[in-house]
Amino acid sequence: MAYIPLCKLRNLMEGDAAPFNVEGREIMLLWPDGGELQAFDGLCPHQRIPFSRGVFNGRYLTCTAHDWVFDGRSGECRQGEDCTLARYPLRVVDGVVEVELT
Ligand code: FES
């Protein structure tokens, strides 16, 4: 699969979360404090509600629908059922953040 451009890296900062809809898929970029920028599935595994309605505090992403909480570094669910967010391969090319839709 090809890498798809999402945004310019300079438009993001450490501690940010940014939701995208690309080719019909919800993608959530998370850049945890002290961690690496990552691209996760943008739908909550509980009831597939988009994380675009979630809250990221720089470390944990909370789905506001039912308060499941995910670690922004690993994608592991910390409050809710045992699960881990799917992750998309991510790269930065010439200052542009790209993800590979697998
Ligand atoms: S849909 Fe996210 S916690 Fe229920």
Measured from the Cα of 54, ligand 1's closest atom is: 2
Q: What 8-state DSSP symbol labels residue 7?
A: E
Average pLDDT over residues 39-54: 95
Average pLDDT along the chain: 96
- CATH topology for 3-100 is Rieske Iron-sulfur Protein (2.102.10)
pLDDT, tens digit (0-9, with 9 covering 90-100), for 51-82:
988 999 999 999 999 999 999 999 999 999 99
Q: What residues flank ligand 1, with Cβ below 6 Å?
A: 44, 46-47, 49, 63, 65-66, 68
Report the atom number in ligand 1 closest to the C-alpha of 49: 1
Q: Is the dihedral of CA 42, 45, 51, 57 positive or negative?
A: negative
Q: How confident is the model at residue 39 (pLDDT cuts 50, 70, 90)?
A: very high
